[in-house]
Amino acid sequence: MEPKPTPPARDAYDAVIVGGGHNGLVAAAYLALAGRRVLVLERLPHTGGAAVSTRPFAGVDARLSRYSYLVSLLPRKIVRELRLPFDVRKRTISSYTPALRGEHATGLLVDGSDPARTRDSFVRLTGSDRDFEAWESFYGMTQRAAGRIFPTLTEPLPSRAELRERVDDETAWRALFEEPLGATVEDLFQDDLVRGVVLTDGLIGTFADAHDPELPQNRCFLYHVIGGGTGDWNVPVGGMGAFTDALADVARAAGAEIVTGHEATGIATDGTRAEVRYRSADGVEGTLGARQVLVNAAPEALDRLLGREPAERAEGAQLKVNMVLRRLPELRDRTVDPREAFAGTFHIAEGYGQLADAYREAAAGRLPSRPPSEIYCHSLTDPSILGGDLAARGHHTLTLFGLHTPARLFEHDHDAVLAELLRSTLDELDAHLAEPIADCLATDADGRPCIEAKSPLDLERELRLPGGNIFHRELAFPYAGETTGRWGVETEHPNVLLCGAGAVRGGGVSGVPGHNAAMAALGR
């Protein structure tokens, strides 16, 4: 539980951190441990930002990771150096993708611990082991690149040439950094479903065509395959809130002040000293002095805090759905146990052609007729998020993340559009189930189904994510550009740093921009 908000002191701080999301808390912990006097200002009544756990359904003791939900990019270095009492668990299954081949229900099961089983699944789906061999070769290549790229995320930014030399694999460099992801996928894989499973990692929260020459899909894909040096996506034990609660505790124990219910409203700086204006939830306004300001908010928000119009407008493109079930649904594909199918990433309507169709429809201003999405079940890997006897009674949580639903589609008649999208998304899921998902939903204390859906505009309203963009803006390749500083967090003001997802090497639950902003603030 968050301590009761208290007004911040009025005298100068070494650093004021705007925003108490996970990156702001990482920065606060590092700076406080280095002996700096640190204040965190958080608009909401709690810390955590998008990395929080909550019980959204009345009377149902299930602590859901409401927004962000898996961990890949968090370096163990940060966990170790901050001595965080936090852990993750590896999922037993990488992914399952159901498919209907004529009237026959089948699917692709990728078991990360059993290559022979995965090969059998490829053969059963595609009729040969060609795509399996290509899969093993491709992801072997990305894993080797991950092992070389991931450690650089918490080092000063390398140049493009330095990172290329570090990767030391021209085939990997070309596939990840130079050629559109779609070209690589089409060259290596034959089966449409296999192609789609590969492509999805380039489209999470990123509205792009597989062949976009500007390569936003490649940048998104890169961050999805380098995490931890392995590309594994892991389950946060205790839910995402366990991570940010631990961060807040460490920061406070080191001496950082964290004040919730206080929103930063402006920043003035001469490059050496800064003033941060704020307003409390009850309307009290004040000004704080600081040597440095670290902004754990989007670049658009930083522009407004500095009193200027934003230089760019971000847009998110996802649907987030949380559910609590009385039981896992049975599948039409009887060869797979639902406890395995939902333990990893369960892909829905994510064939290569389906993804292309959905992108074209959304780009033309229409909801995808067959919206693509993916699901996972946290409680299969970590039942600790279920209180009482829910686990014993067979209850489970499901998290669904939809693709190719840009914010612009919700600007008119938001609620009706969201309801239509949720219905059609669940219809796509139901096509692969032996029973409707609605029949499996638990009910809350008022008898309502335990399901909630969030559009990009909901995320903008609740979390101040610009246009609902979960990365704050388009992701950048993890090397220095013409205007980036030593750590990728610098702004035109020497004492104002960006420590949120919009920094170079930001995005995802990583703590990386928080770490890097702290290193820049400490002059390292």
In 102-239, beta strands by DSSP E: 104-110, 234-236
Q: Quote the Cα angle for 257-81-483, to 5°.
A: 80
Give the bridge partners for 294, in sequence order: 17, 497
Q: Calculate the dihedral angle through the C-alpha atoms of 461, 261, 44, 18, rounding to the nearest 10 degrees.
A: 90
Q: What is the pLDDT of residue 481?
A: 87
How far is Cα of residue 292 from the mean position of the Cα atoms in its chain? Answer: 28
DSSP letter, residue 26: H
Give residue 178's pLDDT.
98
pLDDT at 2: 55
Residue 212: exposure state from Cβ atoms within 10 A (0-12, 13-18, ≥19) = middle
Residue 56 CB: number of other CB atoms within 10 A? 15
pLDDT tens per residue, range 25-40: 999 999 999 999 999 9
Q: What is the pLDDT of residue 11?
A: 60
CA distance 187 to 355: 17
Ranges of residues in the chain with a pLDDT under 70 are 1-11
Q: Do 313 and 452 meet the contact criterion of CB atoms below 8 Å apart?
A: no
**pLDDT number for residue 482:** 78
- What pLDDT was estimated at residue 515? 98
For the chain, how are helix, strand and coil distributed in percent, rounded to 5?
Answer: 35, 20, 45
What pLDDT is recorded for position 7?
Answer: 58
| 75 closest CA partner among 149, 15, 140 | 149
Residue 119 CB burial class (10 angstroms; 0-12, 13-18, ≥19): middle
In this prediction the pTM is 0.95
Q: Which two tokens stand for residue 280?
A: 């409390």
Distance CA 485, CA 290 (A): 22
Cβ(262)–Cβ(8) under 8 Å?
A: yes
Which H or E element spans position 339? helix 338-341
Predicted pLDDT of residue 4: 52
Alpha carbon distance 323, 315 (integer Å) = 25
